[in-house]
Structure 1
Amino acid sequence: MQYPVFPFILRDYTSETLDLSSTFIYRNLVKPIAVQSKEKEDRYIDNYKYLEDEYCKADREDDPMPPVQPYHYGSHYSNSGTVLHFLVRLPPFTKMFLAYQDQSFDIPDRTFHSMNTTWRLSSYESMTDVKELIPEFFYLPEFLVNREDLFWNGCYSS
């Protein structure tokens, strides 16, 4: 659980060329990855307030399950699943991924396949996906290629 984390720096993963002098292409590093949009930030605040209200109203004496303390994010920006998600195409991480996933690959749509999709989910679409990047994005492009011809539920992965 101590794998290094590198932040998303860019937020434009659709343009063919980038104007590095434009502030539009850069992610807001002042805020966590999960709240890159005001709408998503508001959703986390509302969810926290809801959990806080439920926690304060909970009857702890008669409830066999202790109430959950309020939280902002239900997952962490880096964990073993995130590392394996990104490195699934690179041995020995493939074997570790399979052990993590009960000896099967995830469905192709949930397998890492696109920077744009990963950015969209982490920064503004998903309330549960708050991934940051791993160091390999900055020095090891081989992890992006399926050189082992791995097979995902009837589909080859690129």
Structure 2
Amino acid sequence: PLDLIHSVQTRRYLLRGTALEIFLLDRSAYFVDLRSTAQRARAYSTLAGLSPRHCYTHMHPEAADPEALLRRSDLTARWCRREMSNFDYLMALNTLAGRTYNDIAQYPVFPWVLADYTSATLDLTDPKVYRDLSKPVGAQEPTRLARFQERFDAFDDPDIPKFHYGSHYSSAGIVLFYLLRLEPFTTLSHQLAGGKFDHADRLFHDVAGAWRGVTSDASDVKELIPEWYYLPEMFSNVNHVDFGNRQSGQALDSVVLPPWAKDPFDFVAKNRAALESEHVSQHLHHWIDLIFGHKQRGRAAECAANV
């Protein structure tokens, strides 16, 4: 029923502006591809004419523009007044930016906030346990950043713009990497690799190794997904899937957690506490500028090593 609609927002599908996402008051959402921009415009206009009075966007023409939506809302002001959690604000920004659980190619993106995955205990009051949120994840380690910057400065191709990173911080493959142990992502991963799982050594095995990869490997700059902060089941092989054996001969099973985490529930709870910590609250806006703000492109992105 139309009176259940909370908001309607325009979306891209397969890089084309042909989709709408309809959000309901019960927090469910429907992603609809209308096949063409013209058909989407007609559907949007029809919904605008029928829109319930409580609809969040009120179906204004400018509702299709994320920046206009953000300005018209009080999300940022509420977040600055500590009336919204960091998690909720990041989810709102992801939604406004067109990221959605309904499209694995445009999945919500969240930051790594911790940098210590080897200690026996975790002190969230110690700034040293946190990642530098003012820098992209690919720029956390100075030596690797120097290599990226050297390549950027020397790159000269008439057809390809300069870049620091040859891979992206968020993609369908990254979502499948993290959610490998849960359906439907297990099946999707199997299909993506041609009807088999990738080699076990290339799959998500341990948290410390994943962090080591994104801060040291030349082609790995992936950020996180929201589930890292609320879904302990993603770290357990709850369906007892045979993912094969690693080169060591050890079977790939549940994710190996840091010593400071007793179990997946404890790991998620401590990560969520870190996300909502005072330290992250004071620095999260820097990461937001890199992913959603003025440091995404142009000169500001170049200066931030974020291309």
TM-score range, shorter chain: 0.7 to 0.9
Q: State the distance in 1 between where 2:175 and 2:113 align.
A: 18
Aligned length in residues: 145
Q: State the distance in 1 between where 2:116 and 2:169 align.
A: 20
Answer yes or no: is the 8 Å Cα contact 2:205–2:252 preserved in 1: no
Q: State the distance in 1 between where 2:187 and 2:243 align.
A: 14
Identity of aligned residues (%): 41
C-alpha spacing 1:50/1:86, structure 2 compared with 1 (3 Å): same
Residue 214 of structure 2 is matched in structure 1 by: 122
Query: RMSD between aligned alpha carbons?
Result: 1.4
Residue 222 of structure 2 is matched in structure 1 by: 131
Residue 49 of structure 1 is matched in structure 2 by: 153
- Give 1:5's match in structure 2, choosing from 109, 112, 117: 109
Task: State the 1:113 CA deviation.
Answer: 1.4
- Relative to its length, the structure with more strand (as a share) is 2
- Give 1:91's match in structure 2, choosing from 183, 189, 192: 183
What is the TM-score normalised by the length of structure 1? Answer: 0.86
Q: State the distance in 1 between where 2:114 and 2:241 align.
A: 29
Paired amino acid for 2:133: L
Q: CA-to-partner distance for each residue in 1:79-105, whole Å, 9 max, x for gaps?
A: 000000111110111111111111111
Residue 111 of structure 2 aligns to a residue whose secondary structure is coil
Q: CA-to-partner distance for each residue in 1:12-56, whole Å, 9 max, x for gaps?
A: 00112111121110000000000101111111011112222xx26
Superposition map of 1:1-158 within 5 A: 1-52=105-156, 55=157, 67-123=159-215, 125-154=216-245, 155-158=251-254
Paired amino acid for 2:177: H
What is the TM-score normalised by the length of structure 2? Answer: 0.45
Task: State the 1:68 CA deviation.
Answer: 3.3
Answer yes or no: is the 8 Å Cα contact 1:108–1:157 preserved in 2: no
Q: Which 4+ stretches in 1 moved above 6 angstroms?
A: none
Answer yes or no: is the 8 Å Cα contact 2:176–2:186 preserved in 1: yes
Q: State the distance in 1 between where 2:252 and 2:114 align.
A: 29
Larger mean Cα displacement after TM superposition, 131-140 or 14-23: 14-23
Answer yes or no: is the 8 Å Cα contact 1:149–1:156 preserved in 2: no
Answer yes or no: is the 8 Å Cα contact 1:77–1:132 preserved in 2: yes
Answer yes or no: is the 8 Å Cα contact 1:89–1:146 preserved in 2: yes
Unaligned runs of 5+ in 2: 1-104, 246-250, 255-307
Residue 152 of structure 2 aligns to a residue whose secondary structure is helix
Task: State the 1:70 CA deviation.
Answer: 2.3
Q: State the distance in 1 between where 2:122 and 2:236 align.
A: 23
Task: State the 1:156 CA deviation.
Answer: 4.5
Answer yes or no: is the 8 Å Cα contact 2:139–2:145 preserved in 1: yes
Q: State the distance in 2 between where 1:47 and 1:114 align.
A: 30
Paired amino acid for 1:143: M
Residue 178 of structure 2 aligns to a residue whose secondary structure is helix
Answer yes or no: is the 8 Å Cα contact 1:108–1:153 preserved in 2: yes
Answer yes or no: is the 8 Å Cα contact 1:150–1:156 preserved in 2: no
Residue 151 of structure 1 aligns to a residue whose secondary structure is coil
Larger RCO (alpha carbons 8 Å, 6+ apart): 1
